[in-house]
Structure 1
Amino acid sequence: MTNTPAEIRNMLQTYGKQLTNAKRLARFRRALKMSEPVDVVSISRQARRRELVEKISREIIENLIVSGNENPVVSDILEQLELDFGEKHLFEYPLDGSDVQVLKENDQGVVLLSPDEMSEVMNRLWEITLDKVDRTML
């Protein structure tokens, strides 16, 4: 039984592919073994709750408040913010895609806040939102 050069070449190509796949699999297994966590870090229930409260608060501020959602939680947060500052605040994203803008509504109309005022309002908004989410979570 004689083999043609084409058959031998195909056989060698197949073996080469199998060898390449075996090397790749071995590297993958080594990488998986090295990436396994050596120490398992467990955090307390309170820390996990705090992390979840912050995540939900961030979502409320970034999406619901800016979109003008009529959610009762959002309404309560905005009412508290209005009580704290004595003015109604509006939050909107500009069309150019930059960061949120904070406007205040007063007798003269709607005015864009200065960076210092905006920082103060956003900090207070974060505190109110954290408190509200923490109180309403089970």
Structure 2
Amino acid sequence: MANNPAEIRNMLRTYGKQLTSAKRLARFRRALKRSESPDMVTISREARRRELIEKISREIIENLIVAGNENPVVSDILEQLELDFGDRYLFEYPLDGSDVQVLKETPEGVIDLPRDEKAQVMGRLWEITLDKVDRTML
């Protein structure tokens, strides 16, 4: 058993991330079950591509960016976001299962963003991610 407070904190953070991932997966499965339709609808190739781009972008934002994955695509997206706003942002899901938290690194430390600034950052993050996925897809 770990006696060092840093090791305990690290272990709890890891468990928290696993719990968050499990909750996100459960929400995704519920949404998938609700969206299943017995009717088949044909959509254009471009609409399917757009749907796929949005699905991949959502996965990148929900799983890779929030989990802090060191993926080159994620790094590019976060660099672009930092260039656009001039600040470095961190994204976390709280353990209570509520919405993603957007934190900004400042010289005084990390601060939680107000609602309007969070919406602006998340909107730009979505645009950057869509564009990046669109450019990298065949």
Alignment TM-score, normalising by the size of structure 1: 0.71
1:36 offset after TM fit, Å?
Answer: 6.9
Q: Secondary structure at the match of 1:95?
A: coil
Partners in 2 of 1:61 and 1:113 — Cα distance? 17
Instruction: Name the counterpart of 2:128.
Output: 128
User: 1:42-85 CA distances to partner (integer Å, 9 max, x unpaired)?
Assistant: 21111100000000000000000000000000000000000000
Partners in 1 of 2:76 and 2:38 — Cα distance? 45
Matches within 5 A, 1:1-138: 37=39, 41-138=41-138
Q: Secondary structure at the match of 1:122?
A: helix
1:41 offset after TM fit, Å?
Answer: 3.4
**Percent identity at matched positions?**
79
User: 1:87-132 CA distances to partner (integer Å, 9 max, x unpaired)?
Assistant: 0000001121111100000111101000000000000000000000
CA 36–112 in structure 1, closer or farther in 2 if over 3 Å, else same: closer
Letter in 2 for 1:127: E
Tell me which stretches of 4 or more aligned residues in structure 1 moved more than 3 Å: none
Partners in 2 of 1:115 and 1:76 — Cα distance? 25
Alignment TM-score, normalising by the size of structure 2: 0.71
Q: Which runs of 5+ in 1 are unaligned?
A: 1-34
Higher relative contact order (CA 8 A, sep 6+): 2
Letter in 2 for 1:91: F
What value does the CA root-mean-square deviation take over the aligned residues?
Answer: 1.5
Q: Which runs of 5+ in 2 are unaligned?
A: 1-36
